[in-house]
Structure 1
Amino acid sequence: MQNKPMGTIRKPTYMLESVDNALLLLQLLRDAGAIRLKDAAAELGTAPSTAHRLLAMLVYRGFAVQDEKRMYHPGPALGVGPASQGWTRDFTDLCRPHMEALAALADETVNLVIRVGSQARFLWTAEAASILRVGDRRGQVLPAELTAGGRILLAELPRAVLEQLYLRPADEPHISHGPSPAYETDRRMAIGEFEEFAHELEAARKLGFAVNVEQTEEGVAALGVVIRNGRGAAVGALTVAVPINRYRQHLRGKLVAQMQAAVRGIEVDVADIAGPDVPNSTVQK
């Protein structure tokens, strides 16, 4: 029997149609740049309702975004490479027991976040048991400056690095590259906006936690606390996402103290974690 050459792609014996359709939509977003719901349904050969459910999941996981004209565009998770290798798996495994304990104690959803350049990546989620809760965020990629975990990690950066990431030169016009302000690829700010942003980060650093109130999802707020290794380097953040109607009571209650206690336990276990291969003072693009 003649062997097939290396790299030959074989059609799976058992095709998972929903998975295949989701992957086809990813390819469409990658190659076409923008698609309408009716065009997606036509390409897949499915009912619009089926295409809508698939696209909704891609939006939820950050692989697609929808603009005000209801067009779908590639989301932030489509254009990102992997985080630096060799440490995130161990980091996640060490954090998980503490996250599950905190989720049970606070009865709210707990997330583990790292920063890669100007992006916040969600490594793991421990969901609450409450019926009204925020769902699983594993795998999502969002603009760091909009998320609680991303903001508290950005607050650790030197001023010069923040300027590299977010300050737009005075003589350079702003050009929108995204379907909505929340998902523009150019995250840089004019000097006035940048100074206000830097002031907010400094305030979060002094408080010991950062907040996100409906900046990434309507009806959801979050609080974030930094996680450091044994050398004092910020390697990630613990965040708790809550329905907006419970945000104020948590802000005035025990949640921040509970998060900080969980982080102290995590930091004992992750003391030897090296963290990213590049220091926080290096800008990653």
Structure 2
Amino acid sequence: MALPTVPHLSQDGIAFSAVKNRPAYAIASVDSALLLASLLQQEGAMRVTDVAARLGVSVSTAHRLLGMLVYRDFAEQLPDRRYAAGPVLRRGPVQQASVARLREVALPHLRGLVEAVGETANVMVLAGPDVRFVATVESDQVLRVGDRTGRTLPAHLSSGGKAVLATLDDERLAAVVASLDAAVAVRLERELRTVRRRGVAVNDQETEAGLTAVGVAVPPSGGVTGAALSVAAPSARYSRDRLPVWKEALAEAAGGIARDLGDG
């Protein structure tokens, strides 16, 4: 069943996807293979049992998926029997070790965010002109924003992306803005000044109708840079009155992640 701004119906409720609607006749095996390819590119080598646990499939299914990725050069088997990103994926701009560490450290803080605000929480990293979602913890509300792990959004539109862009020096920011239309770049630079002043960025239905997200940058720590957190909710549940509460919860979580990364 589909509604105008609700891409798909999950087993226990309606969940928003990230930007693109879930196909009406989704092919589960293709979805699993593509997600697995993203995980290998972002997080580095994984064992078959790790893949099975992350995808929620049997070990035999995980083995078949890896076999197909190896056949098409999206993965390769290492001497220690783990699987890593293959030649097709090794052009990715995100550092694998940093992303894997970020995900591990961030997950408890994402769960705390969900408890604090009652909405879905994400952690992401800047990857060129985009942000790539590293991990998501969904809220338990029936109508909620769904898991975005492995997906990308334009950095200049997403809340976490804008939060990170606001921290960049002029040279790095210019490299991102250079690919944008001149009018879009001007609007972005104006918005980033607001983000720096407020310490928080908002994506109000810029990437998907009916979805609002608020993001903050994670302070660089432990070799991890360009990371951000966001809280995302159906726009019908968002109001400006909630922004200070979300900002405080996000800032606390971001600070906690930076401390844990530094301790690690």
TM-score (norm 2): 0.63
Map 1:38-53 → 2, pairs under 5 A: 52-53=24-25
Structure 2 residue 121 is matched with structure 1 residue 121:
no
State the match for 1:184 in structure 2.
none
Q: What one-letter code is carried by the residue in structure 2 that aligns with 1:146?
A: L
Shift in Å, 1:53: 1.9
State the match for 1:54 in structure 2.
26
Secondary structure of 1:133's aligned partner: strand
1:104–1:129 contact (8 Å) kept in structure 2? no
Query: Structure 1's 159 and 247: CA in aligned 2 closer, same or farther, altered over 3 A?
Result: same
Moved more, 200-209 or 245-254: 245-254
1:230–1:272 contact (8 Å) kept in structure 2? no
State the match for 1:19 in structure 2.
none
Cα deviations by residue, 1:136-185 (Å, 9 ceiling, x for unpaired): 11111111111001111111112232222223xxxxxxxxxxxxxxxxxx
2:124–2:135 contact (8 Å) kept in structure 1? yes
Shift in Å, 1:251: 3.4
Shift in Å, 1:261: 1.5
Shift in Å, 1:266: 1.5
Moved more, 112-121 or 192-201: 192-201
Aligned CA-pair RMSD: 2.9
Query: Structure 1's 94 and 232: CA in aligned 2 closer, same or farther, altered over 3 A?
Result: closer
State the match for 2:145 in structure 1.
134
Shift in Å, 1:199: 1.6
Residue of 194, 201, 206 corresponding to 2:197: 206
5+ residue gaps, structure 2: 1-22, 38-87
2:93–2:127 contact (8 Å) kept in structure 1? no
Distance 2:111 2:243 in 1: 23
Structure 2 residue 148 is matched with structure 1 residue 157:
no
Moved more, 258-267 or 95-104: 258-267
Secondary structure of 2:96's aligned partner: coil
Residue of 248, 263, 268 corresponding to 2:259: 268
Give the number of aligned pairs.
Answer: 187
Shift in Å, 1:103: 0.7
Distance 1:221 1:159 in 2: 28
Structure 2 residue 59 is matched with structure 1 residue 87:
no
TM-score (norm 1): 0.59
Distance 2:118 2:170 in 1: 36
2:114–2:120 contact (8 Å) kept in structure 1? yes
State the match for 1:189 in structure 2.
181
Distance 2:243 2:159 in 1: 17
